[in-house]
Amino acid sequence: MILTVKEILDATEGKLLSGDINICVSGISTDSRTIKPGDLFIPLKGERFNGEKFIDDALNVGSASLTESTNCIRHDNKPIIFVEDTKDALHRIAKYYRSKFNIPFIAVTGSSGKTTTKDMIYDVLSMKYNVLKTIGNFNNEIGLPLTLFTLNDDHDMAVVEMGMSGFGEIRRLKNIASPNVAVYTNIGVAHIEKLGSRENILKAKSELIEDFKNGDTVVINADDDMLIKMLEKKGPKFVTYGINNGDIKAFDIELNEESSKYKVLIDGYVLDVELNVPGKHNIYNSLAAICIGIQFDVNKEDIRKALAKFQPSAMRLNIIDVAGIKIINDVYNANPSSMKAALSVLGGYTERRKVAVLGNMLELGQYKDIAHREVGEYVKENDIDVLITVGDYALKIADGAIEKGMNNDNVFRCANNAEAIDVIKNIMKESDIFLVKGSRGMEMEEIVKFLQESAYK
C-alpha cells in the first residue's frame, strides 16, 4: 500500500500540522506497539484507551500520524494530520483506498456461520483467483478497514465478513467496502438485546444491499424464514440455496460424527460434496460457497476439491483427540442457533459418553431466559449424557434440560469456569467426548485448555 500524505489529507478533509504532503506511507496501524517504518498511525479512542497518548512512541518508528488535537507535539517534522474524528478518518482512508481497485467484492453477513462461510468461499474462489479475505474475524468498523489496507494489484477479488450489533453498523461497513455481491447465512437472535426482534435484525442486515442494483448479486439461505422476505426487493439478482428450498439444493445428505456428505445438482451435473467438518449447518455454509463459485465460473470439480480440504478456523467446532478423549472446541462465540448446531454434532456420537459444557449466551436481552431454556431442551433431545452449565444465564439451560426429562443427577450448575473444571475433574472418564461452548465473554477456552492438559495425566 502506498498513499501520499496529500491523498490522506484529501480523503479525510484533514489539516496538516507538520511535515511534507509528498511523503508516502506504506501501511496503516492503530496499535503503536506493532507499528512499522512507513506506517501511518491512527490513534483511536475508546472507553478504556486513548491512542493519542502513544503518538510520540508511534512516530519514533512510523512515518506519520493522525490526531484529534491541534496541540499535538511536532516530531522531527514528520507529518501529523489533524482530523475531527480518527475513527471516521480511518473509514474515509479505507474507502478511498478501496476505490483504487476495480474488482468484485463479496460481503458475508448473518447471525451465525459468517466466518466459516467466508473461509469456504475463499477456498473455492482461490482455486481460480487471487483472493483477499477478512483477516481472522476482523468484521467490524476497525477490522474491515485494516483488511482493506492489505489489498494489492495482484488481487482479483475480495471476500469480507460484516458483523453488527445494531442499526447503522452494516451500512457503515458497506459504504467503506462497496461490495457488489452479498451472502446471507441466516437471521437468528444474536444481538437481539439491542435490536429487539428478528424483524429488526433482518432490517439491520438488509442495510448491506440497500444500494444494490441491476448487475449486483444477493445469495441467501432459502430455508430461513426471514431471509426469503428479501426476494421482494427489486433490482439485484437473487441466488438461493438450502436443503429444503433453493436454486442450489443439497440432497442425499449423510451426516457423520466428524464429516458430512451430500449431492448437489448444478446445471444438470451432479456434484458429490464431502466435508471434513460435521453438522447440517456446515452443509448450509458450503452451499453458499458453491453459489459463489458458480457465480464466478470456478470449475465444478475444483469447487468439490476446495470444500473437501476445508478446515475450520480456531475455536470453531474444532475436534481434538487427546489421550482417549475427544473435545469439540467451539468456544469462539455462542448464540441459540450455533448452540443447537453444536449440540447436534455432539448428539451424533453414539459410542462415547457425551458431555456438554455450556456457558452463558450474551446480548439476548429479554429473550435470554427462553433462549437458554430452549437450548436446554435441545440438550435432552440430542441424548446428551451429562450437562455442565457455566454462568447465571446458563442456569436456564439446566432447567430446560430437566423439564424435558434429563436426570437431575447428570446436570451440574457452575458459577464460573473454575467450578466447571472442578466438576470435570470428578466425573471425567476415558473415551468421553466434551463439547465446550459459550459466548466469547465467558472465556471458556480455559476449560478446553484444562481438558487437553488433564487428559495426559
Binding residues: 110-116
Task: Spell out the SS3 assignment of the chain.
Answer: CCEEHHHHHHHHCCEEEECCCCCEECEEECCCCCCCCCEEECCCECCCCEHHHHHHHHHCCCCEEEECCCCCCCCCCCCEEECCCHHHHHHHHHHHHHCCCCCCEEEEECCCCHHHHHHHHHHHHCCCCCEEECCCCCCCCCHHHHHHCCCCCCCCEEEEECCCCCCCHHHHHHHHHCCCEEEECCCCCCCHHHHCCHHHHHHHHHHHHCCCCCCCEEEEECCCCCHHHHHHCCCCEEEEEECCCCCEEEEEEEECCCCEEEEEEECCEEEEEEECCCCHHHHHHHHHHHHHHHHCCCCHHHHHHHHHCCCCCCCCCEEEEECCEEEEECCCCCCHHHHHHHHHHHHCCCCCCEEEEEECCCCCHHHHHHHHHHHHHHHHHCCCCEEEEECCCCHHHHHHHHHCCCCHHHEEEECCHHHHHHHHHHHCCCCCEEEEECCHHHCCHHHHHHHHHHCCC
205 closest CA partner among 224, 183, 222: 183
Instruction: Check: CB of residue 52 under 8 Å from CB of residue 45.
Output: yes
Provide the residue type at 81 as one letter.
I
Q: Which three cell numbers stand for residue 373?
A: 431454556
Binding residues for ATP: 110-116
147 closest CA partner among 30, 298, 24: 30
Instruction: Check: CB of residue 390 under 8 Å from CB of residue 360.
Output: yes
CA-to-CA distance for 6 and 82, rounded, in angstroms?
13
